[in-house]
Structure 1
Amino acid sequence: MNARKVSWLALFVALSVIGSIIKVPSPISSVALDSFPALMAAVLLGPAAGALTGAFGHLVSALIGGFPMGPLHIIIAIEMAAIIWLFGVLYMAGHKWSALLSFVLLNGIVSPAPFILFMGMPFYISAVPAITIAAAFNGIAAYILIPRIAPAFAKRYGDLHA
């Protein structure tokens, strides 16, 4: 990984930390707007960089929220990394709508499902609306801004996916 890509990765992680401060009202205090920079990184820097940004962004969001689910946030960070990696792969393959839809559905509905085992169905039912709203906002913001930023980014910095 070259120094330019590391610098951009650090910038997207910092933006994810800023987004983690913007919370969505929810029974879980870690629902925030931290995914948007990770989605941008997944397209501009590559899916692996986006996954790293997403995992770190979630952990910082959970830290700011007081780690309400304790070590279970590690599972969520892994889920976020996988979902954002998939978004990057689909988006870069030209399946932009599929990337957006898969991000919102996987992040908002599927990723909280394993927590039914740990915290019960009432927790899942109460958490899903806020998580899905946050996922939709993050995904739509990225979907709108990526096509506007990517050409200028590529022109100025070239292909940083490698």
Structure 2
Amino acid sequence: MRVSTLKQIILTALVAAICVIGSFIKIPGFMATAALDSAPALISVAFLPPLYSGFASGIGHLATALTSGFPSGPFHLLIAFEMMLITYIFNVLHRSGYNMLKWIFFIIGNGVLAALPFYYLISPAFFIGAVPNLVIASVINAVLAAMALPIIEKVFLEGKVSKI
């Protein structure tokens, strides 16, 4: 195993652990499990490749589901995959320089598109009930990440921490 790969795995584990900590900070809502589990994964786009930051985000959602009692049962595996995909695309947009588009994508993707399968899998009422809470949670996670991301990037640009 290369040293840089080992660093990526260790940093991914650390980010996933911070996502798990964020999963304990719930955002109250009627029909959805929402927490501050995405913000650390969004911040990790400054130093992790897309797949690794996506993986940390998926772990964060599974921790949120676990600490909420798995209210949607096995569907949480689907949600974790969606979170991984959304964070992966967010990272790609970040690396491509689409600074405003990445935030819009995250909020719409995490707040609306991720809930869309449940319109058909559970019910339209579940979808309509879940979306407002998911959008609010997505905005809160995005705002926290948007405040911290420039600071983390500056640390890497100044060379205080070696980039992977």
Q: Same fold (TM over 0.5)?
A: yes
Give the drift of 1:7: 2.4
Instruction: Indicate the residue corresponding to 2:122 in structure 1.
Output: 119
Give the drift of 1:157: 2.7
Q: How many residues align?
A: 160
Instruction: Indicate the residue corresponding to 2:144 in structure 1.
Output: 141
Instruction: Indicate the residue corresponding to 1:101 in structure 2.
Output: 104
Alignment partners' CA distance in 2, 1:74 and 1:151? 35
- Structure 1 stretches of 4+ with a deviation exceeding 4 A read none
CA contact (8 A) 2:36 2:141 kept: yes
The partner residue of 2:161 within 137, 150, 157 is 157
CA-to-aligned-CA distance 1:75-116 (integer Å, 9 cap, x gap): 101110010001111011111110000000010011101101
Instruction: Indicate the residue corresponding to 1:73 in structure 2.
Output: 76
The RMSD of aligned alpha carbons is 1.4
Percent of aligned pairs with the same amino acid: 35
Which residue identity lines up with residue 18 of structure 1 in the other structure?
A: I
Q: Does 142-151 or 56-65 show the bigger shift?
A: 142-151
Instruction: Indicate the residue corresponding to 2:22 in structure 1.
Output: 19
Q: TM-score, normalised by structure 2?
A: 0.91
Give the drift of 1:151: 2.1
Q: Which structure 2 residue ranges, 5 or more long, are not aligned? A: none
Give the drift of 1:29: 5.3
Q: Which structure 1 residue ranges, 5 or more long, are not aligned? A: none
CA contact (8 A) 1:29 1:65 kept: no
Q: Map 1:38-77; keep pairs closer than 5 Å.
A: 38-77=41-80
Give the drift of 1:158: 2.0
Alignment partners' CA distance in 2, 1:51 and 1:138? 15
CA contact (8 A) 1:13 1:38 kept: yes
Which residue identity lines up with residue 12 of structure 2 in the other structure?
A: L
